[in-house]
Amino acid sequence: SIEGWSDLGTTFTYYNPPVLVDISPKSGAVDKNVLVTIKSNKTNNFASTYSGGSFVTDKSAISSEITCRFGDKGTSKATLIDDSTIQCLTPDTHLSKMDVSSIKVRVQVAPNGVDYIDTDQTYTFEGNGVGGVSIWIWLLAILIGLAVLAALIWWVYQSNLRRDRGLGPLSIVPAQHDELMHRIQPQ
């Protein structure tokens, strides 16, 4: 004990931040909880703690609090497979596959369940939607566009048919309007 300080018997564990090297699979359905395997390198792994002035692998110090975070979509507890491998279920996103096309998030790990380590590993939640809009809305827009196109083609066909028969152009203006205009205009 240092003079003026007392030993309360509290111990602290300092984790060497794991360096994530792989995540598998790298994508999965947005509406499913997918089991994701995360691997660290052998030196900076999930069991690397600080003890006696250096970082060592200490399986007894491995926290049952290892947590994975998938961007802003949520967190889940990890299962330690070995010193350099954990597995996490992707969190429930509360999204339907029809609501999104894909959402790419950064995967982070907290060996102590609190302090997340930033990584360059990403996971993509995949759906069937197009750009965040349900595919049904896109299909409805396409059908409306096809209906407008069909109406335009019909109008052009009818105009050409009237012209070929010598009936004059197809007009939205009633036929009486043409007669009135013909009477008013000097011959």
Q: Are 99 and 67 in contact (CB under 8 A)?
A: no
The predicted structure's pLDDT at residue 175: 56
In tens, the pLDDT along 67-105 reads 999 999 999 999 888 888 889 999 988 887 777 778 899
* Contact (CB, 8 A) for 15 and 48: yes
> Is the pTM above the cut of 0.75?
no
The residue among 169, 165, 141, 138 whose CA lies nearest residue 156 is 169
Those residues whose C-beta lies under 8 Å from the C-beta of residue 52, and which sit 6 or more positions away, are none
Q: ∠138-136-92 over CA atoms, to 5°?
A: 115
Share of the chain above pLDDT 90, in %: 27
The CA-based angle 127-78-19, given to 5 degrees, is 90
- Distant-in-sequence contacts of 147-156, Cβ < 8 A, 24+ apart: none
Residue 9 is predicted with a pLDDT of: 65
Give bridge partners of residue 40 from the DSSP assignment. Answer: 20
What are the pLDDT digits (tens) for 97-156?
Answer: 777 778 899 999 988 888 898 888 999 999 876 655 566 777 888 999 999 999 999 888
d(CA 102, CA 29): 9
